[in-house]
Amino acid sequence: MNDEELANNPFLVLELTAEATRAEVERAGQKLLAQLAIGVSSVKSYQTPFGARPRDESKVRMALSALRDPEQRVLHELWLSDLEGDPQVLLGWPSAFASIGWRGPCTG
């Protein structure tokens, strides 16, 4: 279980709380799908404890499917966190290779 998996929690994707009913889940999912279909920019990302993540139709459909299954839903409920804000990210050191005299193309 890594931060990407936790950031893809269906409750976060659909912006729902753990107490959401089945009807609320369906409503939220269909609303997001409709908004994504017409290109509403404000729904193209969502907040997670690991920073903002992009949202697309496939992610919403997967979230809907996960929350329709009670066993999966309960597991995702357990992983919901109320922590907010961006996590600390360590930036790289851009001139690292220059210090060893490497001015060629940088590797990935």
Binding footprint of other proteins on the chain (CB under 8 A): 1-3, 6, 49-50, 70-71, 73-75, 77-79, 81, 83, 87-108
Nearer to other proteins, 24 or 33 (CB): 24
Nearer to other proteins, 34 or 81 (CB): 81
Say how far apart CA 55 and CA 32 lie, in whole Å.
10
CB of 60 to other proteins, least distance (A): 21
Under a CB-based contact definition with an 8 Å cutoff, are residues 102 and 36 in contact? Answer: no
The residue among 70, 88, 71, 73 whose CA lies nearest residue 14 is 73
CB burial class (10 A; 0-12, 13-18, 19+) of residue 46? middle
Phi, psi of 68 (to 5 degrees): -75, -20
CB of 86 to other proteins, least distance (A): 9
CB of 35 to other proteins, least distance (A): 27
Nearer to other proteins, 1 or 37 (CB): 1
CB of 36 to other proteins, least distance (A): 27
The residue among 74, 87, 58 whose CA lies nearest residue 11 is 74
Nearer to other proteins, 37 or 89 (CB): 89
